[in-house]
Amino acid sequence: MNNTNMHDLPTALVSILKEKNRKIAAAESLTGGLVSKRITEVSGASEVFECGVCSYSNRIKHEILGVPSEILETYTEYSSETAIAMAEGVRKLSGADIAVSTTGIAGPNGGTPEKPVGLVYVGISTQNHSFAKELHLSKGFEDERESIRFAASSYALYYALKEMECTS
């Protein structure tokens, strides 16, 4: 991430959303509402924040966000495909201009050699395009679940901020 302080990210994001008269929504799995919490801690966030969906289970990812069961079965919930579908789903559900999603494995359990603890996908969706970023956030420490979750929320805010800076 650039020089933007991780704790200033929500303030910067809310500010640019207000400036551009845009709305944001979030679909969160491993962050469990942390992205939404950090946005709504900023005074004035009600002008730009539409909703946050904590979609921890695959059933909610599918039934509420519209993630196709084929994506969940083929790629699993820990994939760029799922992150993109989650972001697109919450953007459509909320009518927001931009949406962000997080999915991955915060640990300490649940990792595999193919999908280790610390594997995170952040999805971004706008009307024009959708993409996901793959991150590897484990530092190899015991009990790093909260630091992985906080870092994942910071990257989600950062990518949303960068996307808003690039749009007119």
What's the CATH number where 85 sits? Answer: 3.90.950.20
Q: Residue 139: pLDDT above 80? A: yes
Whole-number average pLDDT of the chain: 95
Residue 51 lies in a domain: yes
Residue at 104 is within a domain: yes
98's enclosing H/E stretch is: strand 98-104
Q: Is residue 2, in this structure, part of any structural domain at all?
A: no
Which pTM value belongs to this model? 0.95
| Count of domains observed in the chain | 1
Instruction: Outline where the chain has alpha helix (H).
Output: 9-19, 34-40, 58-63, 69-75, 80-94, 145-166
Residue 68 lies in a domain: yes
Residue span of the structural domain in which 31 resides: 9-166
Classify residue 47: in a domain, yes or no. yes
Q: How many CB atoms lie within 10 A of CB 122?
A: 28
Q: What is the mean pLDDT of residues 72-77?
A: 98
Question: For the purposes of burial, counting CB atoms within 10 Å of the CB of 70, is it exposed (0-12), middle (13-18) or buried (19 or more)?
Answer: exposed
DSSP code, position 157: H
pLDDT in tens, 116-131: 999 999 999 999 999 9
Establish if 4 belongs to a structural domain.
no
